[in-house]
């Protein structure tokens, strides 16, 4: 009996280790194995499983820094490039950087679950959107390393630093910005009788008029937005006035938000004019642009990689500052959508190494910033990098336009707002309100009132 | 005592040893989380710490328009989808059980086949079929019924319809199997007696077959009701709850509360227990409707 008991216990222990093992290696199949950044992938996974956090790492054995990010063509690729650069410039550090590619939703779900569950299975560095920064810092205080003294934050864009700071402490290394541009098909605009000149510093009303002509003369709809999430346009328009879902103190600001009201009005006008193409998903949006069923889109620099997929459209695209809201004096031809930052987990066994890695590549190395701007369209937040030649480069896909220069020009104009952390919740409320508005069930004022009530309830206020 | 000994001195101990492993895992992964989440339902997390808030989470539900909407949607699916599905399943089962049907094996397999597809896979398939350039739009346009592709999933009525159609496709065959096995257990004499008494096919079905299927009808009804109340994969993958939350289910909302929005595990647990409560009530109603012998 005794022997059987021990056998049972061993079996149970085995089963448990297998279960926890699964938790760790669950990421493995999703890892993209680009050899450049991921030195010795097989050893990575092997060492990950044998490396108990308590066991002291032996000298000479490379430590692994695990990073979670979500876009193979963008931030994952950028972090792999950073890992490669770090390996070259700091060979003495002797670390492997393991960049795990998940979907953005999975990053949040896994992070949220792991933090709420006590901290098992967390990465060492994680990418988070600035929109959700406040939510994680508030909900899980003490989980992210305080980086205030680790970087010279005066060298980074102040609105980016503000977005990742709380109570005077800064918790992340600012990564990309979402300097917003209007990307459009010049050939279609010209067919409708307009020129590149006509697309500069527009108001949304003028944009809609041009759009009507384009749709009428070419049969192509003017602008694309995702049907069940029209908030990219809403957010771009809102921040162009320096307003947001929340005010400076973090209070909900929807019902009486002039910019939101105006943006609802504009989007509704687009729909009624028949110039708005409602794509079913992010893939559908990229598809519509690539196969020429839509003539323009408003988005951040990182979005260009989706537009570039259509090689036959090379030279046909142009970028311009986004239109402004004519009815509001505060509205300017510049805005920001999205943008994210790198966080180090406080309880990571390789916290110091992770911080050293971020310092080693992301501070001071302007060549690195040039590379990621050129290859991934990643517009960093490191101010010294803006003086380099990469911003003078001409982009063939955009007919020789100085695309990076445009972003560099837009960025200083962007009005900082307090994102408030609960943007996912606000986006859902706004999406619901817009859907009801589109179905004609409510007026704009009613829609905004509903959205405010939904958000207030959601946040327990 | 003697009879007990006959089964062997270690009978009980071995018995316990065999179920110990399964029971331990059950305790660890089912009972413990259930108890823990009940405790969680009375707590709320702020600033990383859980505090006891009494019934606040339960009170919050009644003022939460999105929760009430999700409850309404879930009941809508249940009221429309479950009866249609069970009726269809019954008809199919009777047909499949018919003496005159050839290639029974083939038909049985084809009807059961949807049940082995993964929930996510079939959901994505339905999403593709009803998308703008999907096969449904293409066929309707070829036939001249539609001039332009229709956004099925952006219209609240049609989005719900698509979810119901998808569920019918996926789950009808599952219920057919239950009815089929029950049909084969009905004593042949009862049919013969009905025939002798001069009953026609319809009378036989409603007076002989269905009454004898009652326990199975009850079982499938309760299972389908529970399944519908826990509906998640379909809405998550086909519509993401949209447009305007018109397809959002309670389970989907629980997921959003836990993982999409600021983590609100306390409130999410409270909603889960509300679902448990509703299931119990519905089961009681179904038992009493089905009658005592059910």
pLDDT tier at A27, thresholds 50, 70, 90: very low
Pairing of strands A181-185, A317-321: antiparallel
Q: Distance between CA B197 and CA B183 in Å, rounded?
A: 21
Give me chain A's average pLDDT, please. Answer: 85
Whether B242 and A460 lie within 8 Å, measured CB to CB: no
Q: What is the DSSP letter of B195?
A: H
Residue A56 has pLDDT above 60, yes or no: no
Rg (CA), chain B: 24
Residue A165 has pLDDT above 80, yes or no: yes
Residue A12 has pLDDT above 60, yes or no: no
**In 10 A of CB B260, how many CB atoms?**
18
Q: Distance between CA A381 and CA A158 in Å, rounded?
A: 9
Which residue in B has a C-alpha nearest to residue A143's C-alpha? Answer: B48
A231-244 pLDDT, tens digit per residue, is: 899 999 999 999 99
CATH 3.40.190.10 location in chain A:
30-178+338-392, 181-333+422-458
Say how many residues make up chain A: 461
**Coil, helix or strand at residue A298:** strand
Phi, psi of A141 (to 5 degrees): -60, 140
Chain A residues with beta carbon closer than 8 angstroms to that of B258: 112
Which residue in B has a C-alpha nearest to residue A425's C-alpha? Answer: B261
pLDDT tier at A347, thresholds 50, 70, 90: very high
**Coil, helix or strand at residue A99:** strand
Choose the mutation target among B64, B132, B151 for the interface with A, i.e. most A CBs under 10 Å: B132
- CB distance B154 to A278 below 8 Å: yes
Question: Which of A202-216, A374-388, A392-406 has the highest average model confidence (pLDDT)?
Answer: A202-216
User: What pLDDT is attached to residue B292?
Assistant: 57
Q: Give yes or no for a cis peptide into A397 (omega within 30° of 0).
A: no
Residue A46 has pLDDT above 50, yes or no: no
The interface predicted TM-score (ipTM) is 0.76
- Axis crossing angle, helix A258-272 with helix A423-438, rounded to the nearest 10: 40
Question: Which has more pLDDT, A59 or B246?
Answer: B246
User: What pLDDT is attached to residue A26?
Assistant: 36
Q: How far is B58 from chain A (nearest CA, A)?
A: 13
Q: List the structure tokens of A76.
A: 């994952």
The B-side interface with A (CB below 8 A) comprises 13, 17, 20-21, 24, 44-45, 47-48, 60, 63-66, 131-132, 151, 153-156, 239-240, 242-246, 256, 258-263, 265
Task: Classify domain B59-121+172-290 by CATH architecture.
Answer: Orthogonal Bundle (1.10)
A257-291 pLDDT, tens digit per residue, is: 999 999 999 999 999 999 999 988 888 899 999 99
**Coil, helix or strand at residue A68:** strand
All structural domains of chain B with their residue ranges: 2-40, 59-121+172-290
Which among A113, A280, A422 is the nearest to B153, CB-wise? A280
Q: Which residues contact B47 (CB under 8 A, 6 or more apart)?
A: A138, A139, A141
Phi, psi of A181 (to 5 degrees): -135, 160
CB pairs under 8 A between A and B: 94
Which among B17, B65, B155 is the nearest to A454, CB-wise? B65
Q: Distance between CA A259 and CA A298 in Å, rounded?
A: 17
User: What pLDDT is attached to residue A302?
Assistant: 86
**Coil, helix or strand at residue A21:** helix
Average pLDDT (A112-133) is 90
A410-460 pLDDT, tens digit per residue, is: 988 999 888 888 898 899 899 999 989 998 889 999 999 999 998 998 887
Average pLDDT (B104-113) is 90
Average pLDDT (B227-249) is 90
How many Å separate Cα A278 from the centre of its chain?
A: 21
Chain A residues with beta carbon closer than 8 angstroms to that of B63: 457
Phi, psi of B39 (to 5 degrees): -65, -40
Whether B131 and A458 lie within 8 Å, measured CB to CB: no
- A30-178+338-392 CATH pick, 1.10.645.10, 3.40.1640.10, 3.40.190.10, 1.10.260.40: 3.40.190.10
CATH superfamily of A181-333+422-458: Periplasmic binding protein-like II (3.40.190.10)
Whether A143 and B48 lie within 8 Å, measured CB to CB: yes
Which among A8, A139, A432 is the nearest to B48, CB-wise? A139
The A-side interface with B (CB below 8 A) comprises 1, 4, 8, 11-12, 105, 108-109, 112-113, 115-116, 135, 138-143, 227-228, 278, 280, 284, 421-422, 424-425, 428, 431-433, 435-436, 439, 450, 453-454, 457-460
Give me chain B's average pLDDT, please. Answer: 88
Q: How far is B246 from chain A (nearest CA, A)?
A: 9
- CB distance A49 to A25 below 8 Å: yes
Average pLDDT (A293-305) is 91
User: What pLDDT is attached to residue A33?
Assistant: 38
Q: Distance between CA A202 and CA A204 in Å, rounded?
A: 6
Average pLDDT (A193-208) is 94
Q: Distance between CA B44 and CA A253 in Å, rounded?
A: 25
User: What pLDDT is attached to residue B122?
Assistant: 94
Which residue in A has a C-alpha nearest to residue B255's C-alpha? Answer: A109
User: What pLDDT is attached to residue A194?
Assistant: 95
A142-164 pLDDT, tens digit per residue, is: 899 999 999 999 999 888 998 89
């Amino acid at each position: 009996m005794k022997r059987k008991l021990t056998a049972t216990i061993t079996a149970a222990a085995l089963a448990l280790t297998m279960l926890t093992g699964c938790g760790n290696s669950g990421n493995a199949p999703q890892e993209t194995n680009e050899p450049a950044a991921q030195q010795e992938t097989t050893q990575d996974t092997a060492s990950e499983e044998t490396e108990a956090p308590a066991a002291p790492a032996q000298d000479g054995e490379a430590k692994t820094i695990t990073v979670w990010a979500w876009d193979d063509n963008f931030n994952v690729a950028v972090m792999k490039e950073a890992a490669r650069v770090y390996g070259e410039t700091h060979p003495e550090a002797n670390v492997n950087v393991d960049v795990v590619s998940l979907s953005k939703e999975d990053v949040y779900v896994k992070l949220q679950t792991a933090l709420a569950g006590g901290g098992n299975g967390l990465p060492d560095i994680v990418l988070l959107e600035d929109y959700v920064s406040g939510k994680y810092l508030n909900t899980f205080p003490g989980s992210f390393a305080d980086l205030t003294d680790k970087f010279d934050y005066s060298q980074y864009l102040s609105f980016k630093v503000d977005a990742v700071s709380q109570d005077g402490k800064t918790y992340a290394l600012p990564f990309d910005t979402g300097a917003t541009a209007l990307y459009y098909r010049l050939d279609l605009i010209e067919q409708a009788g307009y020129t590149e000149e006509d697309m500069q510093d527009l108001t949304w009303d003028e944009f809609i008029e041009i759009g009507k002509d384009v749709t009428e003369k070419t049969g192509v709809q003017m602008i694309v937005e995702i049907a069940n999430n029209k908030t990219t346009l809403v957010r771009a328009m809102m921040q162009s006035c320096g307003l947001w879902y929340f005010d400076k103190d973090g209070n909900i600001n929807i019902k009486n938000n002039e910019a939101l009201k105006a943006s609802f009005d504009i989007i509704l006008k687009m729909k009624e004019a028949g110039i708005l193409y409602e794509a079913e998903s992010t893939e559908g949006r990229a598809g519509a642009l690539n196969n020429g069923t839509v003539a323009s889109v408003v988005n951040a620099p990182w979005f260009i990689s989706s537009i570039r997929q259509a090689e036959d459209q090379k030279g046909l695209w142009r970028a311009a500052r986004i239109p402004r809201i004519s009815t509001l004096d505060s509205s300017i031809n510049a805005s920001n959508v999205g943008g994210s930052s790198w966080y180090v987990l406080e309880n990571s066994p390789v916290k110091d190494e992770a911080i050293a890695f971020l310092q080693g590549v992301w501070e001071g190395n302007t060549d690195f910033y040039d590379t990621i701007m050129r290859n991934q369209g990643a517009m960093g937040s490191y101010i010294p990098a803006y003086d380099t030649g990469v911003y003078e480069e001409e982009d063939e896909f955009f007919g020789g336009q100085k695309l990076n220069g445009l972003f560099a020009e837009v960025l200083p104009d962007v009005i900082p707002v307090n994102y408030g952390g609960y943007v996912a919740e606000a986006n859902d409320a706004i999406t619901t309100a817009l859907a009801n508005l589109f179905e004609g069930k409510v007026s704009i004022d009613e829609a905004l009132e509903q959205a405010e009530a939904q958000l207030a309830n959601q946040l327990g206020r | 005592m003697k009879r007990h000994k006959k089964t062997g001195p270690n009978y009980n101990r071995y018995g316990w040893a065999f179920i110990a492993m399964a029971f331990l895992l059950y305790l660890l992964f089912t009972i413990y989380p259930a108890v823990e989440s009940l405790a969680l339902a009375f707590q709320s997390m702020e600033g990383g710490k859980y505090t006891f808030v009494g019934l606040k989470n339960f009170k919050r539900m009644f003022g939460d328009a999105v929760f009430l909407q999700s409850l309404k949607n879930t009941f809508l699916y249940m009221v429309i989808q479950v009866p249609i599905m069970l009726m269809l399943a019954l008809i199919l089962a009777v047909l499949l059980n018919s003496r005159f049907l050839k290639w029974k094996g083939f038909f049985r397999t084809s009807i059961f086949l949807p049940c082995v597809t993964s929930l996510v896979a079939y959901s994505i398939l339905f999403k593709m079929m009803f998308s703008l350039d999907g096969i449904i739009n293409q066929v309707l346009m070829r036939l001249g019924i539609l001039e332009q592709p229709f956004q099925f999933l952006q219209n609240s009525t049609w989005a719900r319809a698509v979810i119901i159609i998808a569920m019918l496709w996926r789950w009808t065959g599952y219920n057919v199997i239950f009815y089929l096995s029950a049909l084969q257990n009905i004593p042949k004499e009862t049919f013969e007696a009905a025939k002798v008494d001069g009953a026609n096919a319809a009378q036989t079905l409603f007076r002989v077959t269905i009454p004898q299927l009652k326990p199975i009808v009850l079982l499938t009804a309760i299972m389908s009701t529970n399944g519908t109340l826990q509906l998640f994969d379909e809405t998550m993958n086909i519509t993401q709850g949209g447009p305007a939350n018109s397809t959002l289910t309670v389970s989907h909302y629980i997921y959003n509360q836990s993982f999409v929005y600021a983590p609100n595990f306390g409130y999410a647990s409270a909603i889960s227990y509300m679902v448990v409560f509703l299931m119990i009530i519905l089961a009681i109603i179904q038992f009493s409707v089905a009658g005592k012998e059910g």
